[in-house]
């Protein structure tokens, strides 16, 4: 028999049950993470969105009714009314002695994944049961850090006069040059899911000067790696009246401040993930290497002979990872492998572009943009794109487009770095990959 919620309301979350509340009556609600029946003694570990507390039932101390009726399975949904007691041997030095317990919902006898924290179920299995899996303490820590990261980014940018923008995710033509687009049916027309806020953020830098967006974009890449998703969450930043140099400075300050905030506000979560000594506030400024210098570093290693104009393969980054394990910039990429909106350097073989790396992982790319319309049309043609398909974007360049520069940062990749996750899918609540569209 299940109980009704009735007029019971939670008075606290587990995190709020502090020693000041000893001898006070409280109501907690959540799920049974662990349940032990030792005969005359029963323990429930009740977890909610913030953590867990021990509920202790001792025959003779709690009513016979409560004692006898408490027969719980893993992840049963319950509410507990009880008195807070100090007890050194309980986790956190506190236990709850219940006067009443409501059983609100049950689970099957055997859960599809381990929820006690004793073993780790395989990731695909966990993802299949994600709503359950997300209740694990590890996932709670990841999601807390992800939330703090987003808060820290916003805090940092708002302090510096940025305007938060929201741009369409359904678009009529490509933003990054035709490839990797998901087509959709938009009434009678074909449309696409956006790959990035690139063109809109550039247009809006001509309005609000300093803009940022944090949102989804979609990449139809059939990359089955631990670093790629088909739906990604990115931070897009664009600034008017600056060049790449200013963006490099802004980004390293952003990284510095975000990690500082995470350490200040989410040390518990970092510790849970055993990252407290690894995710440390980085020194600024970050080392800066030109693309050609990196190529040379790589080619000095056995087995590599990269030529100018080649993208840098993951394996090469992996080898560099031994020397370059922190945050570092790679600037002045060959113009030939950069998108049309990137400004060429004085020597047009190079471009005013950069990547921010963390070890072997590319976290950000960005650069100075072309703001002159004729130059932009020429760049489109040189990349084999038809300026007519970009007609509406190009009109923005008729009305005094300022010089501008910006960046795009992969939030999911950053979360995996900060949390020490081996697979990017762990950084996302409901990941999308070539093989996964549900849940």
Residue closer to ligand AMO, measured from CB, 35 or 329:
329
Nearest-approach distance from CB 209 to ligand AMO, in angstroms: 16
DSSP assignments along 272-327, one per residue: HTT-TTTS-PPPSSPPEEEHHHHHHHHHTSTT----TTPPPPHHHHHHHTTT--SE
Residue closer to ligand AMO, measured from CB, 54 or 167:
167
Instruction: Characterize 194-209 residue by residue with b for buried, 16 or more Cβ atoms within 10 angstroms of its Cβ, and e for exposed.
Output: bbbbbbbbbbbbbebb
Residue closer to ligand AMO, measured from CB, 45 or 416:
416
Nearest-approach distance from CB 77 to ligand AMO, in angstroms: 35
Nearest-approach distance from CB 439 to ligand AMO, in angstroms: 19
Residue closer to ligand AMO, measured from CB, 51 or 410:
410
Residue closer to ligand AMO, measured from CB, 334 or 410:
410
Nearest-approach distance from CB 187 to ligand AMO, in angstroms: 27
Q: Where are the beta strands (DSSP E) in 187-253?
A: 189-193, 210-218, 231-240
Nearest-approach distance from CB 272 to ligand AMO, in angstroms: 24
- Strand order from edge to edge, sheet including 170-171: 170-171, 189-193, 182-186
Please identify the residue of the shown chain whose CB is closest to the bound ligand AMO.
410
407, containing H or E segment? strand 404-410
Residue closer to ligand AMO, measured from CB, 264 or 382:
382
Residue closer to ligand AMO, measured from CB, 24 or 222:
222
Give me the residues that bind ligand AMO (CB under 6 A), please: 196, 198, 219, 221, 228-229, 232, 234, 362-367, 406-410, 412-413
Nearest-approach distance from CB 391 to ligand AMO, in angstroms: 20
Nearest-approach distance from CB 25 to ligand AMO, in angstroms: 48
Residue closer to ligand AMO, measured from CB, 73 or 183:
183
The structure tokens listed for 52 are 């867990």
Closest to 168 measured CA to CA, from 184, 157, 146: 184
Closest to 79 measured CA to CA, from 62, 61, 96, 59: 96
Nearest-approach distance from CB 407 to ligand AMO, in angstroms: 5
Nearest-approach distance from CB 181 to ligand AMO, in angstroms: 13
- Bridge partners for 98 per DSSP: 82
| Percent of residues in the chain assigned helix, strand, coil, to nearest 5 | 30, 30, 40
Residue closer to ligand AMO, measured from CB, 31 or 200:
200
Closest to 361 measured CA to CA, from 406, 405, 409, 407: 409
Q: With contact defined as beta carbons under 8 Å apart, do 46 and 14 qualify?
A: yes
Looking at 136-219, list the stretches that DSSP marks H as alpha helix, in order from N- to C-terminal side: 137-159, 198-208
Residue closer to ligand AMO, measured from CB, 45 or 364:
364
The alpha carbon dihedral of 241, 245, 248, 253 has a sign of: negative
Mapped onto helix, strand or coil, the DSSP state of residue 253 is: helix
Instruction: Characterize 358-394 residue by residue with b for buried, 16 or more Cβ atoms within 10 angstroms of its Cβ, and e for exposed.
Output: bbbbbbbbbbbbbbeeeebbebbeeeebebeebeebb
Q: Where are the beta strands (DSSP E) in 39-145?
A: 41-48, 51-58, 77-86, 94-105
Residue closer to ligand AMO, measured from CB, 140 or 234:
234
- The values of phi and psi at residue 286, to 5°, are -75, 150
Nearest-approach distance from CB 308 to ligand AMO, in angstroms: 20
The two beta strands, 210-218 and 163-164, are parallel
Nearest-approach distance from CB 291 to ligand AMO, in angstroms: 14
C-alpha–C-alpha distance, residues 222 and 385, integer Å: 23
């Amino acid at each position: 028999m299940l109980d009704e919620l009735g007029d019971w309301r939670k008075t606290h979350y587990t995190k709020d049950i502090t020693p000041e509340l000893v001898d006070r009556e409280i109501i907690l609600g959540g799920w049974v993470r662990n349940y032990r029946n030792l005969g005359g003694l029963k323990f429930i570990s009740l977890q909610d969105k913030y953590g867990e507390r021990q509920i202790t039932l001792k025959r003779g101390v709690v009513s016979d009714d409560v004692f006898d009726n408490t027969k719980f399975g893993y992840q049963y949904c319950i509410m507990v009314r009880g008195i807070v007691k100090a007890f050194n041997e309980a986790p956190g030095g506190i236990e709850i002695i219940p006067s009443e317990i409501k059983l609100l919902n049950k689970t099957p006898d055997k859960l599809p994944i381990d929820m006690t924290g004793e073993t780790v179920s395989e990731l695909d299995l966990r993802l299949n049961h994600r709503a359950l899996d997300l209740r694990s303490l590890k996932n709670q820590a990841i999601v807390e850090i992800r939330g703090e990261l987003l808060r820290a980014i916003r805090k940092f940018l708002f302090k510096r006069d940025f305007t938060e923008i929201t741009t369409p995710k359904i678009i009529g033509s490509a933003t990054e040059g035709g490839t990797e687009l998901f087509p959709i049916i938009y009434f009678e027309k074909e449309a696409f899911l956006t790959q990035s806020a690139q063109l809109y953020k550039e247009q809006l830098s001509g309005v609000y000067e300093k803009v940022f967006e944090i949102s989804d974009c979609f990449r139809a890449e059939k990359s089955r790696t631990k670093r790629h998703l088909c739906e990604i969450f990115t931070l897009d930043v664009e600034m008017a009246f600056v060049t790449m140099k200013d963006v490099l400075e802004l980004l390293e300050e952003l990284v510095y401040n975000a990690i500082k905030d995470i350490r200040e506000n989410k040390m518990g979560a970092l510790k849970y993930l055993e990252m407290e000594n690894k995710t440390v506030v980085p020194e600024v400024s970050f080392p800066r290497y030109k693309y050609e210098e990196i190529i040379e570093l790589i080619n000095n290693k056995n087995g590599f002979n990269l030529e100018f104009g080649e993208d840098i393969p993951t394996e090469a980054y992996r080898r560099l990872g031994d020397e370059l394990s922190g945050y570092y910039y790679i600037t002045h990429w060959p113009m030939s492998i950069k998108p049309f909106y990137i400004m060429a350097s004085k020597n047009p073989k190079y471009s005013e572009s950069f990547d921010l790396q963390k070890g072997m992982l590319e976290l950000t790319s960005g650069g100075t943009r072309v703001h002159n319309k004729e130059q932009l049309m020429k760049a489109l043609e040189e990349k084999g794109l038809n300026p007519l398909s970009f007609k509406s974007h190009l009109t923005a360049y008729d009305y005094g487009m300022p010089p501008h520069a910006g960046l795009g940062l992969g939030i999911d990749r950053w979360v995996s770095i900060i949390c020490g996750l081996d697979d990017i899918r762990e950084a996302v609540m409901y990941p999308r990959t070539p093989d996964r569209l549900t849940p």
